[in-house]
Structure 1
Amino acid sequence: MLTVLVLIGFACKNKPKEQCAAIEEITIPELQECYKEGTRSVSEVVAYYIERIKTIDWDGPELHSVIMINPDAVEIAATLDEELKNGHSRGPLHGIPVLLKDNIDTHDMMETTGGSRALLGSYPTKDSWVAAKLREAGAVILGKTNLSEWANFRSFNSSSGWSGVGGQTKNPYVLTQNPCGSSSGSGVAVSANLCMVAIGTETNGSIVCPSGANGIVGIKPTVGLISRSGIIPISFTQDTPGPMARTVTDAAICLGSLTGIDSTDSKTFMSKGMREKDYSQYLNPKGLKGKRIAVYTGPIGILPEVDSLMRLAIKDMKSGGAEFVTDIHSVFDTLASDYSFDVLLYEFKDGINNYLAALGEAAPVKSLSEIIAFNNSDSVELKYFDQKILEIAEEKGDLTSPEYQKALMKMKEMVTTGGIDKLMDEYDLDAIIAPTGSPAWRTDLENGDSFVLSSSSPAAMAGYPNITIPMGFVNELPVGISIFGRAWSEPILIEIAYAYEQENKHRKAPKFLN
């Protein structure tokens, strides 16, 4: 049954098969065209994805990428069909099925758990900014995806994609391998065609790593481009949601629907005059021409197979008209990572306590200390991994602490004015590129992750944008290339990413190999 489902796809009604892409790799513009022509309905598409989740994610290979399906999805789809029937479309996301990482609040019949059993039964009192914007744009919130518990801010020794609520998410290319995280379920669900787009969140690597490891596109935007209101926090300084999709086109379309100024997230005030409502205008097939690019070589020289793909990518970008200006061996002082971790510890304690307080009486636990106590008494939460990071965070003071203030100031100086901005000014750069990460490693619930290389930290700690797109394969496992730059440079990065994608088309659907 699984093989038949994967290969047959979802044929369009009243259209020759060769003129209608199979739903497994269909894009947002293609599906919108089908809606416009009446060859598909939102209800049919939503029903298809729900059945595919049940067949592939919960049965079949058991990917464990989707924690729950929205009980309201079918009803929402019917409403959107009625709107289309009456000649009204809310925009490019009308009728597009989207999955949300399960640290993003929805005010409906779905819980928001962050993957933790301590938050089972937690029903937020209102939609997050992200959920509200998606509904406004006509998207169908299809369900919630699994994640590394607490967005991987719990243990130094953990397996990405594991949570007490959702278990271990599997990489859809080779099921024994890891999906990376913490937006593991979002990356896997998009790659395995269980939705059209998913929303992930990143503090450091949590969008770009699972996107790279699962052969998809991920956009980690500038912090403040999209509000974090209603998202279980780690860091006020570094957290951001972002779209994960199979193409740059779909990711760019989704990005524009989420921007805006939110009075409850002061970081968004900085986006005034810098944000766009439509990033599809930057889908320029000649977007590489004249771009001045540097190569961040910190992750290079570790895996020869990845280095080989990078050399080919650089060659392809040069063919597209890009100018490679210099190699950059280090973006910032290594002390910045230590300062960043201190910032995260303080901000996590403050943020999680505020988040739980906002839930009011409905919160199953009321504080970080209660989460720690719950885990100590639970039969699942500490089965594989400890909670050392939670315990260290609990020991920290508040945000008036001199230690926190110093760490925040030093980190920002090192990674922005003394890091990315300095380098881009010195060499007059449009972007910096690097391999996103290694091919997926084998999942190991005893010893945890086996990270080999990563390039996410410079953009993550600076709060600057980073886009990853498929760069090729090492055997059966995808590898991504990251493109990052200054704050608010999403338009330039999208131009580069789209032009590279159009010339190469490295994306291949997974085969669920053992």
Structure 2
Amino acid sequence: MLSADNATAEPLNTLIAVSPALLEENEFPIPSGSMRGLPILLKDNIETADMPTTAGSLALSNNAPGRDAPLVTRLRDAGAVILGKTNLSEWANIRSTNSISGWSAVGGQTRNPYDAERTPCGSSSGSAVAVAIGLAPAAIGTETNGSIVCPASVNGVVGFKPTVGLVSRTHIVPISHSQDTAGPITTTVEDAAIVLTVIAGSDPLDPATVEADARKVDYRAALEPNSLSGARIGVMWFLVGNYSAETQAVFAQNLQALRDAGADLVEIADGPDMQAIGAAQRQVLISELKVGLNAYLASTDSTQVPTRTLADLIAFNDAEPLEMVLFGQELFLRAEATSGLEDPVYVAARESSLRMSGPEGIDKMMADNRVIALIAPTTSRAWTNDPADDDRAQGSASTLAAVTGYPHLTVPMGFDRGMPVGMSFIGGKWDDARVLSLGHAFERRTMARRAPSLRSDGN
């Protein structure tokens, strides 16, 4: 159940802002609701009425339009206490192909609490680290491709990317209207289900959520501890060879745990063309970024945010040394060169990426193999922060679910050279409750999470 560990943490550059209400001298009122008094942190691309929302960029350092994102309103109405904002990979890792996970010009470098010399992954880095070290029992991250599940996996916590359209994206700094979603990061699947139940629902300002009210359920109530018994689950072996040897070994051990819980595992040796999907996705993201970011900037207060377009942001970065000290903005430049959502190049890329990852990808694998979910390692151990080190990222399960907009859950499954790694559970569209239930049963069976050992002396 949602409760914070009393960990003493060395500085890990996790928080960007703390709610002003918590700094007032008068007693803070305890709200009512299903999350009564429970503290929660928000990734700093999600707007709140009482704090700036920067996406990690100095260009948005004064961006305080005084509005709550609908998901924040839902949290407050449920009684949650918004503690503050967490650091992120600047612009959610979409400014540069060389961007550094967990680094932003506003917040600096977030560090992995299991090894400060290794990445926290991103872009929801601060959200995952904050939960891992016990600053809050839950945080909200956002994902376009991997930005919830990767940091959750390498920081040893649970991360859930819902079906796109289950949670409102209004007043969240965008990348892609096709793939963006917010979701919970917690220490248990049960806690993720509690948070998702609160934040899910339709929003008239977000057309993607039109079905959300009809599709949402009480996700905690839907958790079934024995859901693995008799469950037919596909193992995406065509991905597994991309992971480190250590992660592959941990995964193999956990496959036996699934079998022991009664799961019927089906080996899937062949999958869709991941390189082709990735290439099409990149075109989709840079095209939608320009349109979405220009619309978002236009909705802000011009006295607070003088940069009104992506072109303005590019010029701002060129003139601001602190923004460009570690990497450039080649993805921003590519996005600025795109021609909008009517461009045949974009239209073709979106059609092909969705077709290859959905009807010819997840949907086909599940139907052909008669399985209710797919599994793979989420990623390997966290790589080092040294760009010259050859211990780099190895393997990822995020792309198929990201491009289709389908649900994706990561649950801790063990350790790779002392660093946490997670198991991914992926389902079809609106299969959120089932995916959570399978992950809950796996978690109860394995109990693999071990909190980081933190010392107050900073050593």
TM-score category of the 2 structures, normalised to the smaller one: over 0.9
Larger displacement relative to structure 2 (437-446 or 336-345): 437-446
Partner of 2:20: 71
Question: C-alpha displacement at 1:79, in angstroms?
Answer: 5.3
Question: C-alpha displacement at 1:395, in angstroms?
Answer: 0.8
Partner of 1:192: 133
Question: C-alpha displacement at 1:412, in angstroms?
Answer: 1.1
Partner of 1:11: none
TM-score normalized by the length of structure 2: 0.95
Aligned-pair RMSD on alpha carbons? 2.0
**Contact 1:160–1:449 (CA under 8 A) maintained in structure 2:** no
**Contact 2:381–2:417 (CA under 8 A) maintained in structure 1:** no
Partner of 1:176: 117
1: CA distance, partners of 2:349 / 2:283: 7
Larger displacement relative to structure 2 (221-230 or 334-343): 334-343
Partner of 1:62: 11
Partner of 1:285: 225
Partner of 1:413: 355
Name the one with the larger helix percent: 1
**Contact 1:158–1:448 (CA under 8 A) maintained in structure 2:** no
Aligned AA (2:339)? G
Question: C-alpha displacement at 1:328, in angstroms?
Answer: 3.8
Question: 1:358 aligned to 2:299?
Answer: yes
Partner of 1:379: 321
TM-score normalized by the length of structure 1: 0.85
Question: C-alpha displacement at 1:98, in angstroms?
Answer: 0.5
Larger displacement relative to structure 2 (393-402 or 459-468): 393-402
Partner of 2:282: 341
Question: 1:103 aligned to 2:45?
Answer: yes
Helix, strand or coil at the partner of 1:433: strand
Question: 1:226 aligned to 2:175?
Answer: no
Question: 1:469 aligned to 2:414?
Answer: no
1: CA distance, partners of 2:75 / 2:92: 22
Describe the superposition over 1:165-213 as per-residue Cα deviations: whole angstroms up to 9, x where unpaired. Answer: 1111100011111100000000100001011100000000000000000
Aligned AA (2:96)? S
**Contact 1:158–1:449 (CA under 8 A) maintained in structure 2:** no
Question: 1:443 aligned to 2:385?
Answer: yes
Question: 1:506 aligned to 2:455?
Answer: no
Relative to structure 1, the CA distance from residue 295 to residue 422 in structure 2 (aligned partners, 3 Å threshold; closer, same or farther) is same
Relative to structure 1, the CA distance from residue 284 to residue 383 in structure 2 (aligned partners, 3 Å threshold; closer, same or farther) is same
2: CA distance, partners of 1:122 / 1:267: 25
Partner of 1:403: 345
Question: C-alpha displacement at 1:271, in angstroms?
Answer: 2.7
Tell me which of 221, 243, 251 is aligned to 1:310.
251
2: CA distance, partners of 1:384 / 1:462: 32
Partner of 1:3: none
In the alignment, structure 1 segments of 5+ residues that lack a partner are 1-26, 32-44, 84-88
2: CA distance, partners of 1:198 / 1:333: 30
Question: C-alpha displacement at 1:476, in angstroms?
Answer: 2.1
In the alignment, structure 2 segments of 5+ residues that lack a partner are none
Question: 1:116 aligned to 2:57?
Answer: yes
Identity %: 43
Relative to structure 1, the CA distance from residue 430 to residue 190 in structure 2 (aligned partners, 3 Å threshold; closer, same or farther) is same
Aligned AA (2:42)? L
Helix, strand or coil at the partner of 2:307: coil
Aligned AA (1:140)? V
Helix, strand or coil at the partner of 1:234: coil
1: CA distance, partners of 2:100 / 2:293: 22
Question: C-alpha displacement at 1:404, in angstroms?
Answer: 1.1
Paired positions, count? 454
Tell me which of 241, 252, 258 is aligned to 2:193.
252
Aligned AA (2:395)? L
Partner of 1:274: 215
**Contact 1:161–1:184 (CA under 8 A) maintained in structure 2:** yes
Q: Which structure 2 residues correspond to residues 196-211 of structure 1 after superposition, within 5 A?
A: 196-211=137-152
Describe the superposition over 1:84-114 as per-residue Cα deviations: whole angstroms up to 9, x where unpaired. Answer: xxxxx311x1111100000000111x11000
2: CA distance, partners of 1:332 / 1:370: 37
**Contact 1:332–1:418 (CA under 8 A) maintained in structure 2:** no
Tell me which of 293, 300, 305 is aligned to 2:240.
300
Helix, strand or coil at the partner of 1:260: coil
Answer 1 or 2: higher relative contact order, Cα 8 Å, separation at least 6.
2
Describe the superposition over 1:438-460 as per-residue Cα deviations: whole angstroms up to 9, x where unpaired. Answer: 11111126789932111100100
1: CA distance, partners of 2:380 / 2:25: 39
Relative to structure 1, the CA distance from residue 509 to residue 341 in structure 2 (aligned partners, 3 Å threshold; closer, same or farther) is same
